[in-house]
Structure 1
Amino acid sequence: MVSVGRTVWLRAGFGLGVFLLFAQLVAVIPAARHWLDRHPGVDGLLQDAVYLLAALLVLVRAVRVRQDRPAWLLMAAGLGAYAAGTVYWMAVLADLNPPPYPSPADVMWLAYYPFACAAVIRLLRARVSRIGVATWLDGLIASACAAAFASVVFLNDFGGAAGESGWSVVTSAAYPIADIVLAGLLLGAWALSGWRTERVWVLLLAGMGINTTANAIHMFEMTHGTYIPGGWTDALWSVALAVIVAAAWQSRDRRSERRPAGTVVGVALPSGMAFASMVLLLFGSWRDEALPRTSSLLAAAAITGAVVRMLLTVRAVAALADARRQARTDDLTELPNRRLFLESMDRELHRRGDQAPMAVAIVDLDHFKEINDSLGHHLGDRLLQMVAARLAEAFGDAGLLARLGGDEFGLLLPDTEVDGAVCTANRLLTALRRPFDLELVTLHVDASVGVAVFPHHGTDRGTLLRHADSAMRTAKGDHSGVVVTTSGAHDDTDRQRLTTLEELRAGLDHGELILHYQPQMEIASGAIPGVEALVRWNHPTRGLVYPDGFLPLAEHAGLMGRLTLQVLEMALEQSAAWRAAGLDLTVAVNLSASNLHDPALPSYVADALTRHGVPPAALHLEITEEVLMRDAVRATRVLAELRATGIHLAIDDYGTGYSSLAYLHALPVDDLKLDRAFVTHCDTDTRSAAIVKSTVELAHNLDMRLIAEGVENETVLDRLREWDCDLVQGYHLSRPQPADRLTTWLQQRRPAPVR
Structure 2
Amino acid sequence: MRVVPARGRGWLRAGFALGLVLLIAQFVAILPGARAWMDRHAGMHDVLQDAIYVLAAVLVAARAARVRRDRGAWLLMAAGLGCYAAGTVYWVAVLARMNPPPYPSAADVMWLAYYPFAYAALLRLLRARRGRISAPMWLDGLIASACAAALASVVFLSGFTGFSAGSVPAVLVSVAYPIADIVLAGLLLGAWALSGWHTEPLWILLLAGMGINTVANGIHMFDTAHGSYTPGGWTDALWSVALAVIVAAAWQPRRRPSARPPARALVGVALPAVLACAAMALLLYGSLRNAVVPHTSSLLAAAAITAAIVRMLLTVRAVESLTDARRQARTDDLTELPNRRLFQERLDLVLRRRDPREPVAVAIVDLDRFKEINDSFGHHLGDQLLQLVAARLSEAFGGAGLLARLGGDEFGVLLPDADVDRAREVMTDLLTALRHPFDLEQVTLHIDASIGLAVFPDHGADRSTLLRHADNAMYTAKSEHSGLSLANAGADDDIGRRRLTTLEELRTGLDNGELVLHYQPQLDLGCGTVAGVEALVRWNHPTRGLVYPDGFLALAEHAGLIGRLTMQVLDMAVEQCRAWRDAGLDLTVAVNLSTSNLHDPTLPAYIAATLTRHGVPPAALHLEVTEEILMRDAARATETLAQLRAMGIRLAVDDYGTGYSSLAYLHALPVDDLKLDRAFVGHCDTDPRSAAIVKSTVELAHNLGMRLIAEGVENEAVLDRLRRWDCDLVQGYHLSRPQAPERLTPWLLERQESATTADIAGRA
Report the TM-score, using the length of structure 2 for normalisation.
0.62
Pair 336,219 (structure 1): closer, same or farther in 2 beyond 3 Å: same
Pair 553,308 (structure 1): closer, same or farther in 2 beyond 3 Å: farther
Q: Report deviation, 1:118.
A: 1.0
Pair 117,457 (structure 1): closer, same or farther in 2 beyond 3 Å: closer
Letter in 2 for 1:252: P
2:407 is aligned to: 405
In the alignment, the residues of structure 1 paired with residue 67 and residue 237 of structure 2 have an alpha-carbon distance, to the nearest angstrom, of 29
2:697 is aligned to: none
Task: Tell me, yes or no, if the aligned pair for 2:209 and 2:245 is still in contact at 8 Å.
Answer: yes
Q: Report deviation, 1:74.
A: 1.5
1:201 is aligned to: 203
1:86 is aligned to: 88
2:254 is aligned to: 253
2:684 is aligned to: none
Asked whether 1:332 is paired with 2:334, we answer yes
Pair 491,201 (structure 1): closer, same or farther in 2 beyond 3 Å: closer
2:317 is aligned to: 315
In the alignment, the residues of structure 2 paired with residue 310 and residue 144 of structure 1 have an alpha-carbon distance, to the nearest angstrom, of 16
In the alignment, the residues of structure 2 paired with residue 81 and residue 263 of structure 1 have an alpha-carbon distance, to the nearest angstrom, of 37
* Superposed counterparts of 1:162-181, under 5 Å: 162-181=164-183
Pair 78,494 (structure 1): closer, same or farther in 2 beyond 3 Å: same
Q: Report deviation, 1:391.
A: 1.8
Q: Report deviation, 1:402.
A: 1.8
Q: Deviations over 1:415-465 (max 9, x none)?
A: 334554444344434433433221111223333444455556665545654
Q: Deviations over 1:328-351 (max 9, x none)?
A: 222222212233223323333333
1:494 is aligned to: 495
In the alignment, the residues of structure 1 paired with residue 460 and residue 47 of structure 2 have an alpha-carbon distance, to the nearest angstrom, of 85
Q: Deviations over 1:300-341 (max 9, x none)?
A: 333333333333333333333333322322222221223322
1:388 is aligned to: 390
Letter in 2 for 1:44: D
Q: Report deviation, 1:209.
A: 1.5
Task: Tell me, yes or no, if the aligned pair for 1:328 and 1:339 is still in contact at 8 Å.
Answer: yes
Name the SS of the counterpart of 1:134 in structure 2: helix
Task: Tell me, yes or no, if the aligned pair for 1:196 and 1:259 is still in contact at 8 Å.
Answer: no
In the alignment, the residues of structure 1 paired with residue 480 and residue 553 of structure 2 have an alpha-carbon distance, to the nearest angstrom, of 21
Task: Tell me, yes or no, if the aligned pair for 2:369 and 2:558 is still in contact at 8 Å.
Answer: no
* Superposed counterparts of 1:232-271, under 5 Å: 232-248=234-250, 250-255=251-256, 261-271=263-273
| Matching residue within 144, 148, 157 for 1:146 | 148
| Matching residue within 104, 114, 117 for 1:115 | 117
| Matching residue within 203, 221, 226 for 2:223 | 221
Task: Tell me, yes or no, if the aligned pair for 1:127 and 1:257 is still in contact at 8 Å.
Answer: no
* Superposed counterparts of 1:63-78, under 5 Å: 63-78=65-80
Q: Report deviation, 1:409.
A: 2.5
**CA RMSD, aligned part only?**
4.6
Name the SS of the counterpart of 2:94 in structure 1: helix
Task: Tell me, yes or no, if the aligned pair for 1:401 and 1:410 is still in contact at 8 Å.
Answer: yes
| Matching residue within 86, 103, 106 for 2:105 | 103
Letter in 2 for 1:415: D
Letter in 2 for 1:383: L
Task: Tell me, yes or no, if the aligned pair for 2:140 and 2:194 is still in contact at 8 Å.
Answer: yes
Q: Report deviation, 1:172.
A: 1.3
Pair 85,463 (structure 1): closer, same or farther in 2 beyond 3 Å: closer
Q: Report deviation, 1:468.
A: 4.6
Letter in 1 for 2:255: R
Q: Report deviation, 1:104.
A: 2.2
1:622 is aligned to: none
1:695 is aligned to: none
Q: Report deviation, 1:182.
A: 0.8
Letter in 1 for 2:121: A
Q: Report deviation, 1:218.
A: 0.4
1:231 is aligned to: 233
Q: Deviations over 1:612-638 (max 9, x none)?
A: xxxxxxxxxxxxx99995555347999
In the alignment, the residues of structure 2 paired with residue 560 and residue 471 of structure 1 have an alpha-carbon distance, to the nearest angstrom, of 21
Q: Deviations over 1:367-421 (max 9, x none)?
A: 4333333222221221111121122122222322222333332332333345544
2:365 is aligned to: 363
In the alignment, the residues of structure 1 paired with residue 355 and residue 65 of structure 2 have an alpha-carbon distance, to the nearest angstrom, of 69
Pair 635,339 (structure 1): closer, same or farther in 2 beyond 3 Å: farther
Task: Tell me, yes or no, if the aligned pair for 2:452 and 2:487 is still in contact at 8 Å.
Answer: no
Name the SS of the counterpart of 1:262 in structure 2: helix
Letter in 2 for 1:493: D
Name the SS of the counterpart of 2:331 in structure 1: coil
Asked whether 1:305 is paired with 2:317, we answer no
| Structure 1 stretches lacking a partner, 5+ long | 1-5, 505-512, 519-549, 562-589, 595-624, 639-649, 667-684, 691-755
Name the SS of the counterpart of 1:94 in structure 2: helix
In the alignment, the residues of structure 2 paired with residue 364 and residue 180 of structure 1 have an alpha-carbon distance, to the nearest angstrom, of 68
Pair 554,189 (structure 1): closer, same or farther in 2 beyond 3 Å: farther
In the alignment, the residues of structure 2 paired with residue 125 and residue 172 of structure 1 have an alpha-carbon distance, to the nearest angstrom, of 32
Pair 560,30 (structure 1): closer, same or farther in 2 beyond 3 Å: farther
Name the SS of the counterpart of 1:254 in structure 2: coil
| Matching residue within 601, 614, 617 for 1:633 | 601
Pair 491,558 (structure 1): closer, same or farther in 2 beyond 3 Å: closer
Pair 10,487 (structure 1): closer, same or farther in 2 beyond 3 Å: closer
Pair 39,164 (structure 1): closer, same or farther in 2 beyond 3 Å: same
1:712 is aligned to: none
In the alignment, the residues of structure 2 paired with residue 89 and residue 317 of structure 1 have an alpha-carbon distance, to the nearest angstrom, of 56
In the alignment, the residues of structure 2 paired with residue 343 and residue 251 of structure 1 have an alpha-carbon distance, to the nearest angstrom, of 41
In the alignment, the residues of structure 2 paired with residue 13 and residue 271 of structure 1 have an alpha-carbon distance, to the nearest angstrom, of 42
Pair 428,108 (structure 1): closer, same or farther in 2 beyond 3 Å: same
Pair 237,553 (structure 1): closer, same or farther in 2 beyond 3 Å: farther
Task: Tell me, yes or no, if the aligned pair for 2:357 and 2:457 is still in contact at 8 Å.
Answer: yes
Asked whether 1:54 is paired with 2:56, we answer yes
Pair 296,8 (structure 1): closer, same or farther in 2 beyond 3 Å: same
* Superposed counterparts of 1:436-447, under 5 Å: 436-447=438-449
Q: Deviations over 1:195-230 (max 9, x none)?
A: 334333333222222211110110110111111122
Moved more, 168-177 or 262-271: 262-271
Q: Report deviation, 1:243.
A: 2.6
In the alignment, the residues of structure 2 paired with residue 242 and residue 459 of structure 1 have an alpha-carbon distance, to the nearest angstrom, of 57
In the alignment, the residues of structure 2 paired with residue 70 and residue 376 of structure 1 have an alpha-carbon distance, to the nearest angstrom, of 62
In the alignment, the residues of structure 2 paired with residue 469 and residue 628 of structure 1 have an alpha-carbon distance, to the nearest angstrom, of 23
Q: Deviations over 1:658-678 (max 9, x none)?
A: 99999xxx9xxxxxxxxxxxx
Name the SS of the counterpart of 1:323 in structure 2: helix
1:351 is aligned to: 353
Name the SS of the counterpart of 1:445 in structure 2: coil
Letter in 1 for 2:174: S
Q: Deviations over 1:348-376 (max 9, x none)?
A: 33333355444434333344333333222
Task: Tell me, yes or no, if the aligned pair for 1:146 and 1:184 is still in contact at 8 Å.
Answer: yes
Letter in 1 for 2:229: Y
Task: Tell me, yes or no, if the aligned pair for 2:199 and 2:264 is still in contact at 8 Å.
Answer: no
Task: Tell me, yes or no, if the aligned pair for 2:141 and 2:191 is still in contact at 8 Å.
Answer: yes
Percent identity reads 64
In the alignment, the residues of structure 1 paired with residue 270 and residue 604 of structure 2 have an alpha-carbon distance, to the nearest angstrom, of 65
Task: Tell me, yes or no, if the aligned pair for 2:473 and 2:492 is still in contact at 8 Å.
Answer: no
Q: Report deviation, 1:13.
A: 4.0
Q: Deviations over 1:471-503 (max 9, x none)?
A: 55555556555x4637599544334368889x9
Task: Tell me, yes or no, if the aligned pair for 2:73 and 2:125 is still in contact at 8 Å.
Answer: yes
Pair 191,553 (structure 1): closer, same or farther in 2 beyond 3 Å: farther
Pair 215,257 (structure 1): closer, same or farther in 2 beyond 3 Å: farther
2:486 is aligned to: 485
Letter in 2 for 1:295: S
In the alignment, the residues of structure 2 paired with residue 462 and residue 256 of structure 1 have an alpha-carbon distance, to the nearest angstrom, of 30
Q: Higher Cα Rg: structure 1 or 2?
A: 2
* Superposed counterparts of 1:352-751, under 5 Å: 352-454=354-456, 460-461=462-463, 464-465=466-467, 468-469=470-471, 472-473=474-475, 475-476=477-478, 481=483, 483=484, 485=486, 487=488, 490-496=491-497, 633-634=601-602
In the alignment, the residues of structure 2 paired with residue 274 and residue 373 of structure 1 have an alpha-carbon distance, to the nearest angstrom, of 61
